[in-house]
Amino acid sequence: MRFRADGEFAEQLELEDFPFDTQELTVKLIVHCIIGGIVGIEIRPFGYEDEHTNLEAHGMRAIPKMGYNAAAIATAPPVPLPHDIFKVDSFHLYNVWDMSTDVSGSISVHASEFPQLSMACLVRRKPDFYLWNVVVTMILLELMSLASYVLDPHDTEGISGRIGLALTLVLTCGIYRSANAQFSPPVACLTLLDEYILISTVVIGLSVAFHAILAWEEHLWLQPYLVGMHVSLCVGQHSYVYFWRVRPAMKFGDASTKSGYENWAGKERVSNIVKTTQLVHRAGRIFSNAKGAYVDIDVHNGE
């Protein structure tokens, strides 16, 4: 029997690394025929062979009935499926996302009873819009906060001008953050973009405290140290965001390289399959045609 089904699938996006997030789009095919039941259904990868495979019978697997639930699950590691069987070139959101041409197929068990085939691919968001409209703007605002040290600190207007410029930049950051909220997804967690804007606002806000320290009884001898600290904070902030937040997110979900795909479809997905298989083994149940119900079995000796 061969048939074709069209459908729409929903995916819960994980936006902690927004706008450098990578999403795993998964389609699961679950056959509601109990493993070892009256109508036996088996899902196995291409070319999968084990001790139960009968090569003379076109690769069919003959498994003892009483040990079916322990041996029927093909636990081969997930491997990329041939990309030419998927129409990835018709991906409509190519101007917003980069889509991997590799599709992973893995076999597992659903609810410890039903065979399940999962097909997944990666899409990575294109962050260019947010880089030009948010990151560049925040960098310019931080540079403006450094420019306030150029004002003459020896008169009252110079000190008030410094503090006034710093407070104006802080208010600008708050207004800009509110305006930028319409371009960001409304989620309860703190995204990477929100974290970056928040840290930038704190760095600019610290300049107000620095100018207040300089104005307090004219401690101008502290100015070189405070300027150096302010510059260090700006450099450290961007270093932290890039090396500890952006690079790991892009490396883990690199949808354009083979290595990034293998990082995603590697140990974690294999371990999930093994855990699910072990769960079925420990269940120790099989459907008995004679009794018409589940019976307990000893999976160690198959009795």
Could you identify the residue written with the tokens 């909220």? 181
Highest mean pLDDT out of 76-80, 180-184, 203-207, 282-286: 203-207
Residues 172 and 245 in one domain: yes
CB 95 within 8 Å of CB 263: no
Q: For residue 143, what are the domain limits? A: 128-252
Q: Is 261 part of a structural domain of the chain?
A: no
Q: Is 2 part of a structural domain of the chain?
A: no
Q: Is 30 part of a structural domain of the chain?
A: yes
Q: Is 119 part of a structural domain of the chain?
A: yes
Question: In the predicted model, what is the mean pLDDT of residues 186-190?
Answer: 85
Question: In the predicted model, what is the mean pLDDT of residues 232-256?
Answer: 82
CB neighbour list of residue 257: distance below 8 Å, 6 or more residues apart? none
Q: Is 33 part of a structural domain of the chain?
A: yes
Residues 233 and 277 in one domain: no
Range in 31-40, 113-122, 141-150, 283-292 the model is least confident about: 283-292
Question: In the predicted model, what is the mean pLDDT of residues 38-60?
Answer: 70
Residues 226 and 242 in one domain: yes
Residue type, 129: F
Q: Rounded to an integer, what distance in angstroms lies between the CA atom of residue 172 and that of residue 90?
A: 42
Range in 72-81, 102-111, 171-180 the model is least confident about: 72-81
Give the CATH number, domain containing residue 241.
Answer: 1.20.58.390
* 3-state DSSP of 155-182: CHHHHHHHHHHHHHHHHHHHHHHHHHHH
Residues 211 and 241 in one domain: yes
126-172: pLDDT as tens digits: 999 999 999 999 999 999 888 888 877 776 677 788 888 888 999 99
Residues 120 and 142 in one domain: no
Highest mean pLDDT out of 15-19, 219-223, 292-296: 15-19
Residues 117 and 172 in one domain: no
Residues 231 and 275 in one domain: no
The 10 Å CB-count burial string (b at 16+, else e) for 179-204 is: ebeeebeeeeeebbbbebbebbbebb
Residue 283 has pLDDT above 80, yes or no: no
Per-residue confidence (pLDDT) for residue 64, from 0 to 100: 64
80-93: pLDDT as tens digits: 566 566 666 777 88
Number of independent structural domains in the chain: 2
Residue 238 has pLDDT above 90, yes or no: yes
Mean pLDDT of the chain: 75
Per-residue confidence (pLDDT) for residue 267, from 0 to 100: 40
Q: Is 50 part of a structural domain of the chain?
A: yes
Counting residues of the chain whose pLDDT is more than 90, the rounded percentage is 19
Per-residue confidence (pLDDT) for residue 39, from 0 to 100: 74
CB 114 within 8 Å of CB 199: no
Q: Is 1 part of a structural domain of the chain?
A: no
Per-residue confidence (pLDDT) for residue 57, from 0 to 100: 64
Tokens describing residue 198 = 């928040």
Per-residue confidence (pLDDT) for residue 229, from 0 to 100: 93
Q: Where residue 202 falls among pLDDT bands split at 50, 70, 90?
A: very high
Residues 103 and 219 in one domain: no
Residues 271 and 176 in one domain: no
Per-residue confidence (pLDDT) for residue 24, from 0 to 100: 86
Residues 227 and 214 in one domain: yes
For residue 297, count CB atoms less than 10 angstroms from its CB and return exposed for 0-12, middle for 13-18, buried for 19 or more.
buried
Q: Is 284 part of a structural domain of the chain?
A: yes
CB 211 within 8 Å of CB 148: yes
Residues 136 and 240 in one domain: yes
Highest mean pLDDT out of 15-19, 33-37, 80-84: 15-19
Residue 262 has pLDDT above 70, yes or no: no
Question: In the predicted model, what is the mean pLDDT of residues 203-215?
Answer: 87
Per-residue confidence (pLDDT) for residue 271, from 0 to 100: 44
Q: Where residue 241 falls among pLDDT bands split at 50, 70, 90?
A: very high
Residues 94 and 42 in one domain: yes
CB 18 within 8 Å of CB 192: yes
Tokens describing residue 152 = 């003459």
